[in-house]
A = this chain, B = another copy of it.
């Protein structure tokens, strides 16, 4: 019933098969982009009024002022109190673990003094204000609120403003409860490109932020691309992916379910298994067929596995690591004996899950590390979302009078080589032992 490609790394055309499998069409939709451009223009010029009209049009929410669209803290707090105890406890435990892990990412200012009294360093400060986009409707994920907001608050961001669309006025209590737990400062019931525009440019009611993070649909992604430069943004995420490396000794059902857990996100999600043992791949295939019918999201899983999934027979675990580096997956499970052994071979992956007991889903919710990870091979050059995304650095340069003699001579020579006379003259003024004041 479920089809999933079966490849062999020894096939002569394996490389091109793998390339086809990994290919994602990244062309941006021009119609979406131009619709977004005009929405952003309206928000920029008409502010609150445009935001009200667009919210009415797209979310069927009627308000006479944007002030009415703010969801008061009391409402998030009741949402949290009204949760079943198990759910509230789970959210709070997850938040605590995420906070503990991210505390270790916090960076501090540093400096050092040179012999001649020159001081150099880097001052690290949090961003002032951050916007967090949270999708509404069915794909409303409280875990995403935690993963985006907690690193910002750990970094010391003074104000985190959440926006989330409430189609037909429906507010998601789990998302509001997550806001209460994560230290969010304000919440507005707005969404789409209009919410991104309001955060980027500011309106009379919505304060302009310095960076916008969080997932969203194609309109939200297009809007984030367009406001980038005016504000910072996180990565624009592609479809989610898992790559599992297995030695063939983990129960086949466990691995099948790990592949499902990625595939159930959406039809474009990608689940790949690498194993040197062909008969184990048969077992996993059989487990897939046996387990799939019982999954509520079986249609999505089945489409994802047949279009984008693969069971790949590799020569050995070393080759599996090489292929993993080529793919640079968002999630990498190393489900083997002594998994640490293989970590040194891995250069590119968003998150690495080691050992048979570390299912990727533990990382999605509560292990501690962030679940916002680089997709589509971008782990070659980028990192999980972290506290460092909400801190920035300023160089500190305090040259002493003696230092100015030494450095001035170098700078003058190089500036003249580049034909920049004012640069040279500005350094030369400081290079006169007796000419200037002492400070």
Contacts and interface: CB of A to CB of B under 8 A. Distances in A.
Nearest to A425: B257
Given A395-B352, A395-B363, A422 B251 contact: no
A112 B104 contact: yes
Contacts of A366: 407, 410-411, 414
Interface stretch (A189-197, A272-280, A375-383): A375-383
A421 B91 CA distance: 17
Residue from A348, A381, A388 with most neighbouring chain B CB atoms (10 Å): A381
29 contacts: A94-B410, A94-B414, A118-B367, A123-B346, A125-B347, A127-B380, A128-B348, A210-B381, A251-B436, A261-B422, A295-B422, A336-B439, A339-B439, A351-B396, A351-B397, A353-B397, A354-B398, A357-B401, A357-B404, A358-B399, A360-B426, A361-B420, A362-B427, A364-B423, A365-B410, A368-B397, A373-B395, A379-B392, A384-B395
A411 B364 contact: yes
Contacts of A245: none
What is the predominant secondary structure among interface residues of chain A facing chain B?
Answer: mixed
A351 B411 contact: no
Interface of A: 26, 86-87, 89-91, 93-94, 101, 104-105, 110, 112, 118-120, 122-123, 125, 127-128, 138, 141-143, 174, 210-211, 229, 231-232, 236, 249-251, 253-254, 257-258, 260-261, 263-265, 295-297, 301, 336-340, 343, 346-370, 373, 376, 378-384, 386, 388, 392-401, 403-404, 407-411, 413-415, 417-427, 429-430, 435-437, 439
Given A90-B414, A232-B378, 4 more contacts: A210-B381, A350-B395, A358-B399, A386-B393
A363 B337 CA distance: 52
Contacts of A229: 26, 236, 376, 378
Copies of the polypeptide in the assembly:
2
Contacts of A370: 395
Contacts of A253: 429
A350 B395 CA distance: 6
Which 4 interchain pairs have the tightest Cβ spacing? A232-B381, A369-B395, A260-B422, A90-B413
A414 B427 CA distance: 61
A393 B384 contact: yes
Contact of A429 (B138, B143, B359, B360): B359
Contacts of A87: 413-414, 417
Nearest to A392: B383
A410 B105 contact: no
